[in-house]
Amino acid sequence: MPGLTIGDTVPNLELDSTHGKIRIHDYVGDGYTIIFSHPADFTPVCTTEMAAMAGYAKEFEKRGVKLLGISCDDVESHREWTKDIEAYGGGKHKVTYPILADPGRDAIRQLNMVDPDEKDAKGVSLPSRALHVVGPDKAVKLSFLYPATTGRNMEEVLRAVDSLLTAAKHGGKVATPANWKPGECAVIAPGVSDEEARKMFPQGFETADLPSKKGYLRFTKRVTNSRRRRLARQQPIDSDPFGLRFPNTAAAIVLGLEKRRNYRSLPRRDHTATRTDFCATPLLPFRRTPRGHHFLASSFTSQRCPHCTITPRSHSGMKDSRATYSGEVAALQDDSTASA
């Protein structure tokens, strides 16, 4: 069916809406806009769709994407229907986006949003469940067209928008594969040479080994979770000289330990050997197992302290615990200083 499609410029129509007069090009501005239609107000599937779109409005807003609804009912009908939409959503999400009114269906036809199989009581074709993602250049970047019997999946709409934004960010030199989700690997466009790809992606890329050996399926490498954790651990934190992490600075002060920012400069063996918490830490409760091992009974990781010298027989309370702990701290500090 001929009509508006990907790559075409949307007509600069001016229509009444729930937010007053709107000219489409002015509304789109310099960003992305989703123009979506629905068959009629006060209908079941449309009500669920509009409520879902209201629920996802903040997600689209985070991405700089505007929303613009349109249907063949008048403005007053849209406003009354909005009350039902918000009530259906439990009042959690307001319909903050405008809804265009097109009783004559002229704009619907120009936007290629007509469903020839769905007609009103007068036999006039109703709008389809169409959706256009319009870019800053006012051209259609993506289109969905659903029949009246099938409601849209907002997660898929959001995923498609993320894909468009990802491709645009890299100048169209990357694309997203099947079932792609944000944060996953993208593929490099065929027109990008390996040399250019290496400059674009310093972390490298992987080429799928296929029977044709043409090397056209190249996946970008992403920063893995383990890499993110390694980077996060490099950030300065409140700790004792051995890498023992405290929940806040106050704990370190009470224990008499200074706020160290360069604890990673200490010898490796001290850093790794004392990664667990001391069982005799004065501020934390501890318990003994039948075998006499000491474990922290707190929100910290329950591991045996490798430096614990307190035995069940010699342990006589928190006073001894503090003394033993202080002695170990001093000994390890001296050892670290000497090794450095």
- DSSP calls for 59-94: HHHHTTEEEEEEESS-HHHHHHHHHHHHHHTTTSS-
CA distance 331 to 275: 17
> Residue 63: CB partners within 8 Å, gap ≥ 6?
32, 161, 162, 165
CA distance 116 to 126: 7
> Residue 234: CB partners within 8 Å, gap ≥ 6?
264
Beta-bridge partners for 294: 288
Pair 115, 125: CB distance under 8 Å: yes
Q: What is the largest CA-CA distance in the chain?
A: 95
Residue 48: other Cβ atoms inside 10 A: 15
The SS3 assignment for 134 reads strand
Residue labelled with tokens 């169209």: 172
Q: Which residue, 209, 234, 206, 227, is CA-closest to 218?
A: 206
CA 235 from centroid of its chain's CA atoms: 22
Residues identified as active-site: 46
Q: Which residue, 303, 321, 323, is CA-closest to 312?
A: 321
Q: Which residue, 50, 83, 48, 80, is CA-closest to 68?
A: 50
CA distance 274 to 222: 32
